[in-house]
Amino acid sequence: MTNRHFLTDYRRIHDFARFPELRWLNRFDVIVPIILAVTLYFVGRLLNYAAPSLGVTGWQLVVWGFVVSTIMLFHATASINSLAHLIGRRRYDTGDDSRNNFILALITLGEGWHNNHHKFRSCTRQGFYWWEIDLTYYALKFLAAIGLIWDLRPVPGKAYDHNQQLS
């Protein structure tokens, strides 16, 4: 949130840095939100014209589809780095206070399995068991199934080794 940390150190993220589209999104990060807001506005105007009985306007869609949703997303994301270090259960000894929290996982589409993530940072899935709902992972699996993304990193077998778990 400061200019000092604004520039990305690509030496620390080699796997992302090799994709020009990710570097472009990183450099022009404000363009996608602007496109979303403008699109929502014009869809709202179109709906107002095509189906006035709905009572939808362009500004309504901007407020609810962009402003409110962005604020909720920010607060849900920020809650992970605060609440997921205070409330929940620890499956793994990670040298920090990260915890798994079912409620936070539901709110953040899977990010609440924070202790799992801290122990095995590079795997795609954060909910390791069937009862650990991870909607982001399910969406990524769908995108991989239709060929839009690939090389998803699985949960390593040692994640299920009960000798690593806390008692």
Please spell the DSSP secondary structure of 95-113, one letter per residue: SS---B-HHHHHHTTTTTB
Same domain as 117, residue 63: no
Q: What is the pLDDT of residue 89?
A: 95
Is 70 exceeded by the pLDDT of residue 163?
A: no
Residue 48 placed within a domain? yes
Is 150's pLDDT higher than 50?
yes
Residues 157, 95: one domain? yes
Last residue of a domain, which of 42, 73, 104? 73
> Domain of 15?
1-73
In a domain, 31, yes or no: yes
* Tokens matching residue 57: 């306007």
For tokens 């909720």, the residue is 72
Query: Total structural domains in the chain?
Result: 2
Judge whether 79 lies within some domain: no
Gyration radius of the chain's alpha carbons: 20
Q: What is the mean pLDDT of residues 22-42?
A: 94
pTM flag (> 0.75): no
| Mean pLDDT for the stretch of residues 123-135 | 95
Structure confidence at residue 77 as a pLDDT band (50, 70, 90): confident
